[in-house]
Structure 1
Amino acid sequence: MSTQVTPAAAPVQSDAAQGMRKNGKQWHAPRSAFRPKAGNSGWDKRQVERKALETVKAKEKEMKEEKEAERQRRITSIKEKRAAKEEKARYEKLAETMHKKRVERLKRKEKRNKMLKS
């Protein structure tokens, strides 16, 4: 039997192998060098990205406008219903004290005035 010595596996480098930090903040992850031009891509690639971003923004804007238009439509319909309800209640109150035909005449007269104003 021959005994061969196998070389030990190379130890994996870790943050502790670099030694203690001088500023005492060993809990922070080690940082790499600052390279401001490392992420730059070519002009064509940037143009394609800009186009894609513009299309996304246009779609978002269109969707927001549709949502806002629907919201405004609901608001106007609610306001119209409330105004009609108030007007009906006002005419009912008038009808309690006045004759029915006179109330009808006032209604027609007020509608004519509304048409002239707008």
Structure 2
Amino acid sequence: MSATVTETAPVSAPTATAAKPLGMRVNGKQWHAPKKAFRPTKGLTSYEARVKTRADQAAMKAKEKEMKEEKEAERQKRVQAIKEKRAAKEEKERYEKIAEKMHKKRVERLKRKEKRNKLINS
């Protein structure tokens, strides 16, 4: 028979982090999750990273403010259009009421006179 070579894969030793048995807890509270080590410097970031995040947040806030102002301007424009429409309607109704009592030409003269006064006073 010919020589057969059996390849054996190198067996890696189990790592220390993989399922290390902890044993019984000293205080007897096994139902609590194990605590992690206290690392006070873990959350700290570099000055450049903080400056970059602050700049990003400032740009985002500026964009949000601009969008809100645009939306508010659109709303104000709609409100103003409604107010002008209502004022025109009220004025038209007032002139119609006057026209019931007076002659048409006299009502036209009053309209022109009131418009001149509005232009002068404004």
TM-score (normalizing by structure 2): 0.71
| 2:112 equivalent to 1:108 | yes
Question: 4+ residue runs of structure 1 moved beyond 2 angstroms?
Answer: 10-13, 17-21, 28-38
Identity, % of aligned positions: 63
Unaligned runs of 5+ in 1: 1-9
Structure 1 letter corresponding to 2:117: N
Within 1, Cα distance between the matches of 2:111 and 2:76?
Answer: 29
**Larger RCO, structures 1/2 (Cα 8 Å, 6+ apart):** 1
Q: Name the structure where helix makes up a greater proportion of residues.
A: 1
Within 2, Cα distance between the matches of 1:37 and 1:43?
Answer: 14
Question: What is the aligned counterpart of 1:61 among 59, 65, 82?
Answer: 65
Structure 2 letter corresponding to 1:94: I
TM-score (normalizing by structure 1): 0.73
The 1:97–1:60 alpha-carbon spacing in structure 2 relative to 1, beyond 3 Å, is same
| 2:55 equivalent to 1:51 | yes
User: Alpha carbon RMSD of aligned pairs, Å?
Assistant: 2.6
- The farther-off stretch of 94-103 and 34-43 is 34-43
Unaligned runs of 5+ in 2: 1-18
What do the CA deviations read for 1:39-59 (whole angstroms, capped 9, x no partner)?
A: 110001111111111111111
What do the CA deviations read for 1:47-93 (whole angstroms, capped 9, x no partner)?
A: 11111111111110110010000000001000000000000000000
Radius of gyration: which is bigger? 2
Paired residues, number:
102
Residue in 2 that maps onto 1:39: 43
